[in-house]
Structure 1
Amino acid sequence: MKNYYSDLDRRAFWKTGVVAPSHLTVPEIYQKKWEIGPDQKIGTAGSCFAQHIARHLTQNGYRVLDVEPAPRGLSEVQHAAFGYGMYSARYGNLYSARQLRQLVEAAFSDDPRPFLIWEREGRFFDAFRPTIEPNGFLSRDEVIEARRYHLRCVRRLFLEVDVFVFTLGLTEAWVHKESGQVVPLAPGIVAGEDRAQDYEFVNFSYGEVEADFRAVMQMLDDLRGRKRPLRYLLTVSPVPLTATASGQHVLAASTYSKSVLRAVAGWLCETCDNVDYFPSYEIITNPAARGTFFESNLRSVMTEGVEVVMNAFFAAHPPRLRREETGQRPTEVPANEDVQCDEQMLEAFGR
């Protein structure tokens, strides 16, 4: 007797879709909604896992924009330490949809809200990207000038880009009470410990995350016009929280955060033709992998895990360069590949 499940293919069932295949392949987990053309410009942003995606896209011949490149004279070894080459602009890690929203609003506003500046031992830090200058700026004016230049670069990015890849990372954030602006780290982690009373903890809900991302989409649609609609490729970072200020156990807090972000990404993909979702989160956390894609800290994703993720991506979006042109395998990256993750600094406060 036939029923609704009789004619479904193998990937619809746990036994044949997860248990039977190798966790190194996860066949047919991703079916793309649209092509990424060879001439399309790609922008990248998000949490630290997004850095892996950006590097692999670049190495495989995709046109990944870098509108805020490192200055001449800064060695390649120092690029990431100063926030260069991590993403398409020098915004550092954008963990939440709210961070992305306020960045777009600031970039296109004639009267942006005040810049938030932290101080430590006579040096000054941009609170919105506190780790891009490891030793801080010499003065408040330097911070402001660098911020203004950064926003000009961001404006150019969103006017030029065709596909924007964004990795959702966290729902937890710290909000400046007076202005309502969020920062990626609590004051006192890098600098600004004397300003801690000006901030409060927030844990964004499903509705808030969805509303923030839809607001970004609407703003950019209005700015770019209907003739140049922007496409979004969303992912969710598989990296758990380093620490939580929610009062929950960190495991429960991490599960909440990732569940909200995954649900939002899925619903945006279902309801918006210009939004696709790539399941990097599912590939890394796949029960069949039994945690083998994580380093010993059970957070950092091993190079082998990143390769499995990107192999799944490039199976749907083939590399734009042949092996003989790149001199390396399609998903090969340097053995010492590291990502810059601001949140990891919280480990220093663990007991």
Structure 2
Amino acid sequence: MKYSNRISYSLAAETAKINRESRVGSRGTDANRMEPACWPGLRPSFTFNKESKIFVIGSCFATNIEKYLQSRGYICVSSCENRSNLISTGCLNKYTPASIWEEIAWAREIYDRDDSITLEDVQKCLFQVSDELYIDLHLHAVEPVDLATAFEWRKVVYSIYRDLFTCDVVVITLGLIESWYDERSERYICETPPRQALREKERFFFEQLDYQKCYNFVVSAIELIRKTNSPRIMLTTSPVVLQRTFTSDDVIVANMFSKSVLRAVTGQVVKDLDGIDYFPSYESVMLTRQNSIWKDDMMHVAEPFIAQIMSRVEGIYAPESFSKVSDNFDRIHDFVNAVSARDFSLARSIFTSIGDPGLEVPSDYYTSAAVLYWCDGDRNSAASILAKSNVGELSYTDVLVPLRILIARWAGDKDLVIGVRSWLKVNDGLTFKRLFHAASWLSYNGNKREAAVIAGLVRPQQVRRLSAQRRLVSILQAGGKSDQAKIISEIKFDSVPAVA
């Protein structure tokens, strides 16, 4: 243990005296770190650079961290990109300390044995749904496949996880304590049992993990990671809200309990183990009093705010590699957040204050500015500002990028329409999320016909969630596209939505 919880008065007083962040600054003073956004201090015990091999594991918030790091040129060995087109990044999400430990332990056993995956290794993860089809209970939101495909999936997963044992930096985000245990395999699975597995539902048990179990899983996972290597570790609690609870509590209460347990666990692990830092993404999100930092589902954090969080992490932990893309960095992302939240009055105020955005400005600034001009009916300005942003340089945070199609049509720029469509086609992994988000944004803004146009670009095979299906059907019907609504409504699902 690095230090005891009980110290003398003199030492406590001295610690508080030299701690520049021992008090919360008052409103109206330079010491105010709560407004307009909350930025707790970071206490790095190590640094990394663009030569460091980084592995990110955890909930969907971890995926956002990984995307940010990749967009900034860091080596994320946990990424599915350039590995295989069989598995998308989201499939590797791990929401609980138990599911994180299970995947690491599975890979560690193979790595220590002979570094060669076998059919028996794969079958530990599978549930047989028919004579020929299997579903992997340890991957997020996947469909039943034949055994050969399931084997190939697991080969990809192992090829990724084996790099965990040789990387330089590990980032772990803890998401939930509501877990599911498979009594037959004696393993915790990734998420709610899929519908196909419910014919054997008696083998699955819901468990709300307590503090000690969570702590033990996290410590054990770190020990497995460090068995033959000593990577530095960054630990955080995901701010993403629980979608549904299987307890009798209100989901809001259940979520707060879950996050409180995990925040306590991360704090204790950082105290007990060397070479581990906590970075306060949870505090930044939960204590920032801006509606614009949340997506419309009120569960997920808006990508521009995640970029602001990670830019601070990058600036402290990778000072040699870090360079702000603009002196207006924070105001630009505040502006993007405001447009995303449809707070146009705030957006106009920030946009005016930005003036010249500078060089190397992220594409979501130009998209958001064009959207603002579009809402104001200023066709020429909308077209002009889009022309300043190269379609080939669109950033992962540019969640409203499909609106460029509407604006380009409105402005009569056929080349831009073709360019955005091509970008969406090439970036197929991002396409559904972008189209769904943009269509929902338009629908909430009252642009029903335009929302249906964007929703109509979604291909049926991209819809894998019941909640997404219902939302798309509603948008298409409201916008007068009943034929397309019927096609989407007839989609049959092989798996149920996740709870996180």
Rg bigger for which structure?
2
Q: Match for residue 14 of structure 1?
A: 24
- Contact 1:41/1:163 (<8 A) preserved: yes
What is the alpha-carbon distance in structure 1 between the residues aligned to residue 103 and residue 232 of structure 2? 18
Q: Are the structure 2 counterparts of residues 120 and 304 from structure 1 closer, same or farther at C-alpha, using a change threshold of 3 Å? A: farther
Task: Specify whether residues 321 and 263 from structure 1 end up closer, same or farther in structure 2 by C-alpha distance, changes over 3 A only.
Answer: closer
Deviations 1:225-259 (A, max 9, x none): xxx31221111110111011122221111111101
Structure 2 residue corresponding to 1:142, chosen from 146, 149, 155? 149
Residue-by-residue CA offset, 1:242-282 (whole Å, 9 max, x unaligned): 01112222111111110111111111112222111111110
The amino acid that maps onto 2:242 is L
Give the 5 Å matches for 1:78-227: 83-86=87-90, 92-109=92-109, 110=113, 112=121, 114-119=124-129, 123-132=133-142, 134=143, 136-137=144-145, 139-147=146-154, 149-189=155-195, 191-222=196-227, 224=228
Alignment of 1:21-36 (within 5 A): 21=33, 23-24=35-36, 26-36=38-48
Please report how far the alpha carbon of residue 58 of structure 1 lies from its aligned counterpart in structure 2 after TM superposition: 1.2
Q: Which has the higher contact order (CA 8 A, sep 6+)?
A: 1
Write the distance in 2 (CA, Å) between the matches of 1:40 and 1:193.
43
Shift of 1:68: 4.5
Check whether the contact 2:170–2:232 (CA below 8 A) recurs between aligned residues. yes
| CA separation of 1:130 and 1:51: change in aligned 2, threshold 3 A | closer
Q: In structure 2, what is the Cα distance between the partners aligned to 1:240 and 1:296?
A: 12
TM-score (norm 1): 0.78
**2:459 aligned residue:** none
2:247 corresponds to: 246
Query: How many angstroms apart in 2 are the aligned matches of 1:185 and 1:293?
Result: 26
CA contact (8 A) 2:95 2:191 kept: no
3-state SS of paired residue (2:55): strand
In the aligned structure 2, how far is the partner of 1:195 from the partner of 1:259? Answer: 33
Contact kept? 2:107, 2:162, Cα under 8 Å: no
For the residues of structure 2 that align with 1:255 and 1:67, how far apart are their CA atoms? 30
Question: Aligned AA for 2:164?
Answer: F
Q: Is the 8 A contact 2:96 2:175 kept in 1?
A: yes
Instruction: Judging by fraction of residues, say which structure has more helix.
Output: 2
User: Is the CA contact 2:181–2:189 (under 8 Å) kept in the aligned structure 1?
Assistant: yes
Task: Indicate the residue corresponding to 2:280 in structure 1.
Answer: 279
CA distance in 2: counterparts of 1:155 and 1:15, whole angstroms? 43
Q: Does residue 52 of the first structure (1) align with residue 68 of the second (2)? A: no
Q: TM-score, normalised by structure 2?
A: 0.57
C-alpha separation in 2, matches of 1:61 and 1:334: 15
User: Aligned partners of 1:328, 1:270: CA distance in 2, in Å?
Assistant: 39
Q: SS of the residue aligned with 2:129?
A: strand
Matched, 1:301 2:301: yes
Give the fraction of aligned pairs with identical amino acids, expressed as a percent. Answer: 20
In structure 2, distance between residues paired with 1:268 and 1:125: 34
Contact 2:108 2:162 in 1 (8 A): no
Aligned residue-pair number: 324
Please give the per-residue CA displacement for 1:97-122, whole angstroms capped at 9, x wherever unaligned.
Answer: 21121112211325758233252797
Alignment RMSD (CA, Å): 3.7
Structure 1 contact 237–281 (Cα < 8 Å) conserved: yes
